[in-house]
Amino acid sequence: MLDPFQRANLYVSIFTLLQSLAEGSEPPVEVREFLEALGVEVPELDRTVARELGRVAARDVRVDLPEGLRRHLHLHLRSFAERMGYEVPEPADGLINMVALAARLAMDAFTAGAGDAERAEELERALLRFLMTHLLPVLEDLSVPDEGLRRLIGGVVDLIKADVEDLKAKFTARS
Amino acid sequence: MVSRRAVVRGVVGAASLGVFLAGYWHTVERIVKPTAQLYKPDRTFGTGVRYVYTSCLGCNVRCGIRVRVATVDGIEVIERIEGNPYHPYNRYVSVDHQVNRYSEIDYRTSPSEALKVGSTLCARGQDGIHYVYDPYRIVKPLKRAGPRGSGKWKEISWEQLIKEVVEGGVIEETGERLPGIREIYVFGRLRDAGFENPNDILTAIRRDADELVKKAADPAVTAEKLDELVKAFKEKWSRILGEKGVKLEDVLIDPDNPDLGTKANMLVYMRGRGQDNADTFANRFVRAVGSVNWLRHTSSCQLAFYAGNYLWSGFYDINADIMGAEVLIMAGGALGRLHPGATGQGALIERAANGEVKVYYVNPIGPRVSANGNIVWVPVKPGTDAALALAVAQLMIKNGWINREFLQAPSLKAAEKIGYPYCSNATWLVVMEEKHKLYGSFLTDTALGIGEDGKAVVRAGEGFAVHDAVDRAELEFSGKVRLATGEEVLVKTAFTIFKETAFSRTVEEWAKICGVDPKLIEQMARDFGQAAPRAATYIHRGVAMHPNGEYTVWALRSLDILIGNFHRIGGILGRPSLTSYNNYLYNCSASGYGEPVRWGPAIDRHYAEYEKTLMYYRKVKRGENPYPAKRPWYPLSPEESYTELFAGIDQGYPYPVKVLILYFANPVIATNFGVKFVEVLKDTRKLPLFIGITTTINETYLYADYLVPDTTYLETGTMGVHFLYGGGLGRLLAECWRSPVIMPLTQRISDSPDGKPRYASFWEFFIDVGKALGAAGFGEKAIPGTPRRKYEGKWFPVHSAWDYILRVYANGAASAMERGVVPKEIPGEDVRFVEQNYPIAKFKDVLPEDEWRAAAYCLARGGVFTKYEESFTERGFSKRSVPGTRVLQLWHDKLAKTPNSVTGKKFWGGPAYFEPATYAPVKAEAKGVPFAGTSLRALYPESEYPFLLTFESGPLYTKHRSANYYWIKTILPENFVLINREDATVLGIKTGDVVLIESPYGSIEAPAVVTASVAKGVVAVPYGMGRWAETVLVRPNYVKMKKSPEALRELPERMVVPETAVNPVKHLPEVVKRVLFTDRPSDYYVKGLAVDEWRFNGVTPNPIQLGDESLGDWPMVSWIGAGQSYFYNPVKIVKTGKAKKLPAHQIVW
- Does the CB of B986 have a partner CB in chain A at under 8 Å? no
Q: How far is CA B416 from CA A81, B410, B411, B474, B790, in A?
A: 79, 11, 9, 18, 38
What is the identity of the amino acid at B607?
Answer: Y
DSSP for B31-42 reads: HSEESS--SPPP
* Three-state SS at A103: helix
pLDDT band at B14 (very low <50, low <70, confident <90, very high): low
- Among A30, A37, A107, beta carbon nearest to B13: A37
Q: How confident is the model at residue B2 (pLDDT cuts 50, 70, 90)?
A: low
pLDDT of residue B43 exceeding 80, the answer is no
Answer for the pair B632, B918: CB distance below 8 angstroms, yes or no. Answer: no
pLDDT at residue number B91 = 83
Question: What is the predicted pLDDT for the residue at B17?
Answer: 58
Nearest-CA neighbor of A94 among A106, A102, A85? A102
Name the pLDDT band for B767 (thresholds 50, 70, 90).
Answer: very high
Evaluate if residue B169 carries a pLDDT over 80: yes
Q: Tell me the pLDDT tens digit for each residue of B691-726.
A: 999 999 999 999 999 999 999 999 999 999 999 999
DSSP string covering B567-619, please? TBTTSEE-PPB---TTBSSBB-SSSSSSPPP--S--TT-BT--GGGSHHHHHH
Contact B635, B898 (CB under 8 A): yes
Residues B897-922 pLDDT 10s: 999 999 999 999 999 999 999 999 99
Q: Look up the ipTM and state it.
A: 0.91
pLDDT, tens digit (0-9, with 9 covering 90-100), for B1083-1100: 899 888 999 999 999 999
Predicted confidence at residue B11, as pLDDT, reads: 56
B956-972 as b/e: b if 16+ CB within 10 A:
bbbbbbbbbbbebbbeb
Residues B766/B803, Cβ–Cβ less than 8 Å: no
**Does the pLDDT of residue B109 top 80, yes or no?**
yes
For residue A122, what are the domain limits?
A: 4-174
Can you tell me the mean pLDDT for B539-557?
A: 97
Touching A: B residues 764-823, CB under 8 Å: none
Is residue B277 classed exposed, middle or buried when 0-12, 13-18 and 19+ CB atoms within 10 A define those classes? buried
Helix (H, G, I), strand (E, B) or coil at B1008: strand
CATH 3.40.228.10 in chain B is located at: 322-390+505-539+546-567
User: B19-33, B136-150, B453-467, B771-785: which has the minimum mean pLDDT?
Assistant: B19-33
With H, G, I as helix, E, B as strand and everything else as coil, classify residue B269: strand
Cβ distance of A38 and B11 shorter than 8 Å = yes
> Nearest CA to B1008 among B990, B981, B1025, B1026?
B990
pLDDT in tens, B948-993: 999 988 888 878 888 889 889 888 889 999 999 999 999 999 999 9
How far is A31 from A45, CA to CA, in rounded Å? 16
Give me the mean pLDDT over the B869-887 stretch: 96
SS3 call for A67: helix
**Beta pairing partners, B1129:** B949
- Chain A from 13 to 72: CB within 8 A of any B CB: 13, 15-16, 19, 28-31, 33-34, 37-40
Number of H helices, E strands in chain B: 37, 44
* Angle (nearest 5°) at CA B818 between B814 and B824: 80
Give the pLDDT score at B986.
97
Residue count (chain A): 175
- φ/ψ of B1008, rounded to 5, equals -95, 150
Positive or negative: CA dihedral B129, B133, B135, B140:
positive
pLDDT of residue B337: 84
> Count of domains in chain A?
1
More confident residue, B1147 or B6: B1147
**pLDDT computed for residue A37 by the predictor:** 83
| CATH for A149 | 1.10.3480.10
pLDDT at B10: 56
Mutation target to probe the B interface, by most B beta carbons within 10 A, among A38, A156, A160, A161 is: A38
End-to-end Cα, chain A, rounded Å:
18
CB contact under 8 A, B32 and A103: yes
Burial of B719 (0-12, 13-18, 19+ CB in 10 A): buried
Distance between CA A142 and CA B1148 in Å, rounded?
40
Per-residue model confidence (pLDDT) at position B480: 97
Q: What radius of gyration do chain A's Cα atoms show?
A: 16
Taking an 8 Å cut-off on Cβ atoms, the answer to whether A30 and B1 are in contact is no
Q: Percentage of chain B surpassing pLDDT 90?
A: 88
Strand partners for B876: none
> Distance (Å, rounded) from C-alpha B316 to C-alpha B956?
28
In chain A, residues with a C-beta closer than 8 Å to the C-beta of B2 are 38-40, 155, 158-159, 162
Q: Is the pLDDT of residue B4 over 60?
A: no
Beta-carbon count within 10 A of B456 CB: 23
What dotted CATH number matches B941-1146?
2.40.40.20
Sequential DSSP letters for B41-71: PPP-SSTTEEEEEEE--SSSS--EEEEEEEE
Of all helices (H) and strands (E), which one includes residue B834?
helix B828-837
Q: How far apart, in whole angstroms, are the C-alpha atoms of residue B477 and residue B843? A: 66
Helix (H, G, I), strand (E, B) or coil at A128: helix
**Which amino acid makes up residue B587?**
N
Give, in words, the CATH class of B322-390+505-539+546-567.
Answer: alpha beta
Q: Specify the domain boundaries for CATH 2.40.40.20 within chain B.
A: 941-1146
Which of B281, B340, B414, B393 shows the shortest CA–CA distance to B120? B340
Of B659, B660, B668, B674, whose CA–CA distance to B698 is shortest?
B668
CA-derived radius of gyration, chain B:
30
- Cross-strand pairs, B178: B169
How many angstroms separate the CA atoms of B553 and B544, rounded? 6
pLDDT tens sequence across B460-517: 989 999 999 999 999 999 999 999 999 999 999 999 999 999 999 999 999 999 999 9
Whether the pLDDT of residue A175 is over 80: the answer is no
pLDDT at res. A34? 85
Residues A33-45 as b/e (b if ≥16 CB within 10 A, e otherwise) read bbbbbbbbebeeb
Q: Which residue has the higher pLDDT, B882 or B969?
A: B882
The rounded mean pLDDT for chain B is 95
DSSP conformational letter for B9: H
Eight-state DSSP code of residue B377: E
pLDDT > 90? residue B208: yes
| Whole-number Å distance between alpha carbons of B678 and B543 | 28
CA dist B58 and B70 (Å) reads 21
How far, in Å, CA of B392 to CA of B398, rounded?
10
**Interchain contact, B1145 vs A29, CB within 8 Å:** yes
Q: pLDDT higher for B603 or B95?
A: B603
List pLDDT tens digits, range A80-113: 999 999 999 999 999 999 999 999 999 999 988 8
According to the model, what pLDDT value does residue B100 have? 67
Chain B residues with CB-CB distance to A103 below 8 A: 28, 32
Comparing C-alpha atoms, which of B103, B102, B101 is closest to residue B86? B103
Per DSSP, the three-state class of B1045 is coil
**Torsion sign across C-alpha atoms B189, B193, B199, B200:** negative
Confirm if B951 and B1134 have CB atoms less than 8 A apart: no
Using CB atoms, which residue from B4, B31, B32 is nearest to A162?
Answer: B4
Helix or strand run (H / E) with residue B888: strand B887-888
> How close is the nearest chain A Cα to the Cα of B36, in Å?
7
User: Are B297 and B646 in contact, with CB atoms under 8 Å apart?
Assistant: no
A9 touches chain B (CB under 8 A): yes
Closest C-alpha among B753, B758, B763 to residue B743:
B758
- From the list B10, B24, B1071, the residue facing A38 with the nearest CB is B10
Instruction: List, in sequence order, the alpha helices (H) in B40-185.
Output: 111-114, 123-126, 129-132, 158-167
Contact at CB, A88 and B1074, closer than 8 angstroms: no
For the cut 90, the answer to whether the pLDDT of residue B831 exceeds it is: yes
Q: What value, to the nearest 5°, has the Cα angle with vertex B419 and ends B416 and B424?
A: 60
Residue B629 has pLDDT above 60, yes or no: yes
Predicted confidence (pLDDT) at residue B38 exceeds the cutoff of 60: no
Helix, strand or coil for residue B696? coil
Which A residues in the span 129-168 are in contact with B, Cβ-Cβ below 8 Å? 154-155, 158-159, 162-163, 165
Chain A touched by B15 (CB under 8 Å): yes
The pLDDT score that the predictor gives to residue B20 is 64
> In this predicted structure, what is the pLDDT of residue B41?
54
Model pLDDT for residues A122-162, shown as the tens digit of each residue:
999 999 999 999 999 999 999 888 888 899 999 999 999 99
Q: What is the pTM of this model?
A: 0.89
Nearest CA to B588 among B769, B796, B759?
B796
Cβ <8 Å between A16 and B39: no
The DSSP H or E segment spanning B643 is helix B642-651
CB contact under 8 A, A107 and B27: no
3-class DSSP state for residue B987?
helix
Q: pLDDT by residue (tens digit) across B397-442?
A: 999 999 999 999 999 999 999 999 999 999 999 999 999 999 999 9
